[in-house]
Amino acid sequence: MSNSSLPGFKQSFMDVDGIRLSVHICGQGAPLLLLHGFPQTHAAWRKIAPDFSQHFTCVVPDLPGYGESGIPPSVPDHRLYSKRHIAKNMVGLMQKLGYAVFSVLGHDRGARVTYRMALDHPERIHRIGIIEVIPTADMWARFNAQMAMKAYHWTFLAQPYPLPENMIAADPIAYLDWTLKSWTKGNSLEAIDPVSLKSYRKQFREPERIHAMCEDYRAGAAIDCQLDEEDRAKGHKIAAPLFFIWANNGFPAQTGDPLGLWRNWADQVEGQAIDCGHFAPEENPQAILKYLIPFFKKG
């Protein structure tokens, strides 16, 4: 994969906690970790990372199992794909780069790693940005018929091995393209940069990465939900200031009051709905920059 997937960024590989991570870095100023989601790679940030790098030192990895990062082994309880374990990987990455305290912006699965990191490592996290998710336990609790149809992949990808892997393998690129289109506001690939789309399609040609994505969702249906419920029962809250962005045509918008849900989980919450589908950093990058550059510059 060419380094040009993020203009101006340099790619390197770093070993952290036994996993080899592909990382793209550029910029100056305070450290900002950017975490992508499913079914994407670091290239999801292509439209906004260069602008962020004018204000921050941006660290943009492929999540474990995705892109060009290493693939964790599968274990029965899926704990190596839990957001707790991946958050630990990301804290280790930032420590290795010399950053004891940093801010994090996450979209989709990356946002789940982001808020888990803020709960588990509060001393490390300055500020967090959450794009297009509500907490995992809340998401499962809101699975009515409408949500189940829109977010069917939560139950499909979490099915036991090898059912989803085998079904996706029948035509992985068609599955990817259909998923990307169906979650955009315009039901189109137009918003997806061709370089980014090439990156996403590359990983979908690798069966072991499709398996890793399924393991990600298996963890989401099991250990991730359990950890959220445990934190809620103990009254744990996110200490870092949180800015939540959700799409008027995305998943959290189906839950009624997504901003209110985050106020149950964090002490300092700001939020904004924007006009787009689920892939906000690609469909409406200017809105992301408008709200989050000032937010991360505070403090």
Catalytic residue set: 108, 278
**Residue 286 φ then ψ, to 5°:** -65, -35
Instruction: Please report the beta strands in the chain, taking only residues with DSSP state E, as ranges in sequence order.
Output: 10-16, 19-27, 31-35, 57-61, 102-107, 125-131, 242-247, 269-274
Closest CA to 37 of 11, 6, 60: 60
Closest CA to 44 of 288, 269, 294: 288
Which string of b and e fits 170-180 if b means at least 16 CB within 10 Å? eebeebbbebb
Residue 266 to residues 60, 115, 123, 243, Cα–Cα distance (Å): 25, 10, 15, 10
Q: Are 206 and 66 in contact (CB under 8 A)?
A: no
